Amino acid sequence: MKRTVTFLPDNATVSVDDNANLYKAVKAAGVYVLSSCGGKGNCGKCKVVIKEGTVERGKSNSYLSSEEIKRGYVLACHSQVKSDLIVEIPQESRMQAKHKIATGARTEEIMKLMQEAGGCLESRISRVYLEISPPTIDDNIADYERLRRALDKAGFDASHLHMNYLVLTKLPHVLREGNWKVTVSAFNVGAVLEVLDLYPGETTRKRYGAAVDIGTTTVVVYLVDMTTGRVLGTSSTYNSQVKCGDDVITRIVYATERNGLKELQDLVVTNINTMLGELAEKNNVPPGMIDYIVAAGNTTMTHLFYGIDPQFIREEPYIPVATFFPLIRGKSIGFRIDPQAMVYSMPNVASYVGGDITAGVLVSQIHKQEAVSLFIDIGTNGEIVLGNKDWLVTAACSAGPAFEGSGIKFGMRAMEGAIEEVEISPKTYEVNYRVIGDVKPIGICGSGMIDILAEMYLCGVIDQKGKIREEIGSKRIRRGENGLEYVLAWRVESAINKEIVITEADLDNLIRAKAAIYAGFATLLSHMSMGFGDVHKLYIAGGFGRYIDVERAITIGMLPDLPVDKFQFLGNTSIMGAYYGLLCDRLRHEAEEIAKRMTYVELSVSHSFMDEYMSALFLPHTNLNAFPTVKRELEERKRPV
């Protein structure tokens, strides 16, 4: 028997079998619903409201408050369709339309930065305009040989000329269509000169490329005029893979155990295709003239982008299929723009340090400096690089995506409705907050979480271990269904007709996350027999990093207690590095050298990391002397530590 399920507010309808899983129905309807686990049934995020009809609720109730249950909430993944349904996706489970996404420095600045980094406008793929002498009965060599001769004359070494089947097929027509005046796009691999594409007439200046940042959460695209280096347009969107899981591990599981590799690949390629298509249209760029795409992403994202099985990234000893991916044709992985376009990925270092970090180091330029610097990219994962012109070490701290909202009851990404700044009165314990978009709040984003931790700690609402001090007697402290919690926004203030709270479990998750990051810093330094005092600069990259209040992050012990002027925000270095590599083949080469130079330290098997981590599971740290600024502030507030 078939059942009709209608999803509100989209009014999307889908026909499913009786007893179908409601989460699958949501996906089949093409509607978005929040989910961190990809429908595996253990994240408790895919809350929907049954407005009409009947479902079998499964284990929904164990993830829902009694009030939610009363109001018709179920978890889609635990529910079976038992009748025709009308289902509402409530606001907190929806993808928000307006959101804050960092696309890096302003595009006009990026070219300047690239030039300062030694970059130029010499891409891997070059174009050359040829005026070829037409064949005659006395000069009757074949088209292919004629082109070779013309390339030779133009100064290319075409003794190992190659073109793929598609180009060969169109060769005779392009030559004649352009009346033997053609533009050739070509690149070298080894001693081979590969003709990438051919165009009738002179098109050397109609040359476009795309830089892409494939974040676990966000995908950013720059459309670039390759002749001038100008960024014609930028676009960003949530990585549609999010619906299959919030973090890289869940996605690897989805790809391997749930046979979703192709689906994951399609999702992200479609994201890029869509953005690139829109950018091209908006800027009157013929899509067939976009012939080079450089992407940067973490190692798992790179594997998924290529449709390469990421299984062994997750299994000890954590081996990626490739760190340096070969140059491939975009059409192999589903690109719809120029079918001949080449795709390059910024080189990865190891399973948990990817091309986004190589790109980041390239942008930070720490690999050229005398002084030792730290580089950290705080996104869905946290990757750290320490080094200078002589050496580079790197590690990934499995901080988990807590600061992205995952595992936090009201956690969400930095989009409209997210509490992003919080102040707690040390006297009344009352709360002031600021919400992105100045609307009623629906949850808390990462910067809000740092604020909450810092404020609660400084005001004594929580102790050094992150436990709520019930004894202070605030009406905001109450015992919820999962233990003690602190009310940030009352029901009337919120947009979701519910109190927005932070629970002790949330606090615990956040402390674990910040401890992992700090322990990463500390371990890498001790690996090199150094201390924080040896660090000249600390560069913070990543979408999330952009909104961190450094002092607050020091307060909770996420960042080391260094003078504020040692911190520098770099923005989205992943997209910037991809842009560098796209335009300048010298910098692309430099990125490969960076990746080769980086020594990867596997923290998951490091005893010293475990020690550092345990010590960091306090606010700000078991050793308060390592945080003199925090110590001073606590003293100023005249509170016992």
Interface ranges with a second copy (CB under 8 A): 135-137, 140-145, 160-165, 168-169, 171-173, 176, 189-192, 306-309, 311-312, 316-329, 332-333, 348, 350-351, 600, 602, 605
Q: What are phi and psi of 244, to 5 degrees?
A: -100, 5
CB of 402 to a second copy, least distance (A): 26
Question: CA 351, CA 252: separation in Å to the nearest integer?
Answer: 12
CA dist 28 and 147 (Å) reads: 51
Q: Within 13 A of 94's CA, how many CA atoms are on the CB side?
A: 19
Residue 390 Cβ vs a second copy, minimum distance, rounded to whole Å? 22
Minimum distance, C-beta of residue 477 to a second copy, in the bound complex (Å): 45
Which residue type does 493 have? E
Cα 234 from chain centroid (whole Å): 16
If the CB atoms of residues 572 and 606 are measured against a second copy, the closer one turns out to be 606
Q: How far is the CB of 468 from a second copy (least distance, A)?
A: 39
Give CA–CA dist 386/597, Å, rounded: 12
Judged by beta carbon, residue 244 or residue 333, the one nearer a second copy is 333
Compute the least distance from the CB of residue 583 to a second copy, in Å. Answer: 23
Smallest distance, a second copy to C-beta of residue 260, A: 15
Nearer of residues 484 and 594 to a second copy, judged by Cβ = 594
Residue 123 and residue 585 in contact, taking contact as beta carbons nearer than 8 Å: yes
Of residues 317 and 533, the one with the C-beta less far from a second copy: 317
Burial code of 117-146, b = ≥16 C-beta within 10 A, e = fewer? Answer: bebeeebbbbbebbebeeeeeeeeeebeeb
Give me the amino acid identity at 557: G
- Closest approach of a second copy to the CB of residue 378, in Å: 24
When the beta carbons of 136 and 625 are compared against a second copy, the nearer one is 136
Contacts of 55 (CB under 8 A, 6+ apart): 22, 74, 79, 80, 81, 82, 85
Q: Considering beta carbons, is residue 143 or 633 the nearer one to a second copy? A: 143
Instruction: With beta carbons less than 8 A apart as the criterion, state whether 512 and 417 touch.
Output: no
**Given the complex with a second copy, which of 168 and 232 has the nearer CB atom?**
168
Tell me the closest approach of the beta carbon of residue 252 to a second copy, in angstroms.
13
Shortest Å distance, C-beta 598 to a second copy: 12
Tokens of 592: 């490969």
* CA atoms of 196 and 177, how far apart (whole Å): 18
Nearer CB in complex with a second copy: 240/323:
323
Would you say 553 or 595 has its CB closer to a second copy?
Answer: 595
d(CA 5, CA 89): 12
Q: Cα 439 vs. chain centroid, distance in angstroms?
A: 26
Ramachandran angles phi, psi of 377, nearest 5°: -115, 110
Pairing of strands 2-8, 85-88: parallel
Find the shortest distance in angstroms from Cβ 265 to a second copy: 11
Short-list 256, 236, 332, 331, CA closest to 290:
331
Cβ atoms of 435 and 447 closer than 8 Å: no
Strands 392-397 vs 598-601: parallel, antiparallel or unpaired: parallel
Q: Which residues contact 545 (CB under 8 A, 6 or more apart)?
A: 376, 377, 378, 379, 569, 570
| Residue 168 CB, nearest approach to a second copy (Å) | 6
Q: What minimum distance in Å lies between the beta carbon of 234 and a second copy?
A: 28
Nearer to a second copy, 161 or 366 (CB): 161
Q: Which is nearer to a second copy, 580 or 600 (CB)?
A: 600
What is the phi-psi region of residue 64: left when phi exceeds 0, alpha when psi lies from -120 to 50, beta otherwise? beta
- Residue 509 or 523: the one with the smaller Cβ distance to a second copy is 523
Name the minimum Å distance from CB 274 to a second copy: 22
Which one, of 1, 24, 28, lies nearest residue 12 by Cα?
28
What is the C-alpha to C-alpha distance for residues 383 and 396, in angstroms, rounded to an integer?
4
Nearer to a second copy, 112 or 262 (CB): 262
